[in-house]
């Protein structure tokens, strides 16, 4: 969905570097060598791991093939790769909730959605033209982990059912793409 036509997508890599000069530059070389596009580096100099290493988080863009080559390149250079994967939240999904949203504690609904689905509520629009005591509608923009949309939607259905709310889900897999 958010993939560009050439398959470039965002990735985050967590590394642990030995505390010596030139290590950061050495860690970035495989990214440049394999055609990745470096987006940001978070170098936690003040936060040394129990193993005496410095955690570094690198955000980059690459095709899946380039990304695999980058991770291989890092491992060949004997750089500790803690986590390498797609960006934490890589898919967006919109749902509309309908019902007595205010009476059923909308903020509790939202926090329950965040806590039990692992999705992040990024946007909220509430429409209550008849006043907050009547039925109203809310549109939620959710960011989810890659491939988890179906489970997130199933969880939301359950939360909504408990509160007597109706969920209008997106049609995933249909002409939504």
Partner 1 sequence: MRLAIVGAGAVGTAVAELAGEYGHTVTGLADSSSGVVDGDGIDVDAALERKRSEGAVGANAPDDVLHGPYEVLVEATPTTLGDAEPGFGHVRTALDRDRHAVLANKGPVAERYGDVRALEAESAGDVLFEATVGGAIPVLSTIADVGADNVSAVRGVLNGTANFVLSRMAAEGLSYEHVLAEAQDLGVAEADPSFDVEGTDAALKCVIVSNVLAEDDREYTLADAEVSGIRELPASALDLATEAGQTIRLIGEVSGGDVRVGPRLVPEHGTLAVGGTRNIVQLETAHAGRLNISGRGAGGPETASAVLADVGRLGE
Residue 171 sits in the site that holds partner 1 (CB under 8 A): yes
Residue 171, classified by CB atoms within 10 Å of its CB into exposed (0-12), middle (13-18) or buried (19+), is exposed
Q: Looking at the DSSP assignment, which residues form a beta bridge with residue 54?
A: 17
- Quote the CA–CA distance of 152 and 119 in Å, as a whole number: 7
* Residue 81 or 126 having the CB closest to partner 1: 126
Q: Report the side by side order of strands in the sheet with 136-144.
A: 91-99, 136-144, 120-127
Residue 169 sits in the site that holds partner 1 (CB under 8 A): yes
Residue 152 sits in the site that holds partner 1 (CB under 8 A): no
Residue 39 sits in the site that holds partner 1 (CB under 8 A): no
CB of 42 to partner 1, least distance (A): 32
- Quote the CA–CA distance of 93 and 123 in Å, as a whole number: 11
Residues 105-134, interacting with partner 1 (CB under 8 A): 125, 127-130
Residue 137 sits in the site that holds partner 1 (CB under 8 A): yes
The site that binds partner 1 (CB under 8 A) totals a number of residues, namely 24
Which of 10, 85, 118, 170 binds partner 1 (CB under 8 A)? It is 170
């Amino acid at each position: 969905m958010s993939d560009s036509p050439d398959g470039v997508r965002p990735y985050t890599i967590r590394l642990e570097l030995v505390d010596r000069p030139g290590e950061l530059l050495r860690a970035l070389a495989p990214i440049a060598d394999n055609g990745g596009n470096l987006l940001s580096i978070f170098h936690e100099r003040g936060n040394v791991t129990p193993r005496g290493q410095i955690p570094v988080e690198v955000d980059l863009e690459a095709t899946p093939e380039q990304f695999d080559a980058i991770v291989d390149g890092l491992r060949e250079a004997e750089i500790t790769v803690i986590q390498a994967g797609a960006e934490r939240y890589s898919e967006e999904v919109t749902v509309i909730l309908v019902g007595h949203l205010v009476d059923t504690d909308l903020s509790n609904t939202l926090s329950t959605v965040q806590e039990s689905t692992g999705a992040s509520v990024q946007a909220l629009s509430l429409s209550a033209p008849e006043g907050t005591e009547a039925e109203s509608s809310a549109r939620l923009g959710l960011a989810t982990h890659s491939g988890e949309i179906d489970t997130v939607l199933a969880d939301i259905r359950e939360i909504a059912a408990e509160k007597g709310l109706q969920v209008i889900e997106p049609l995933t897999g249909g002409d939504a793409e």
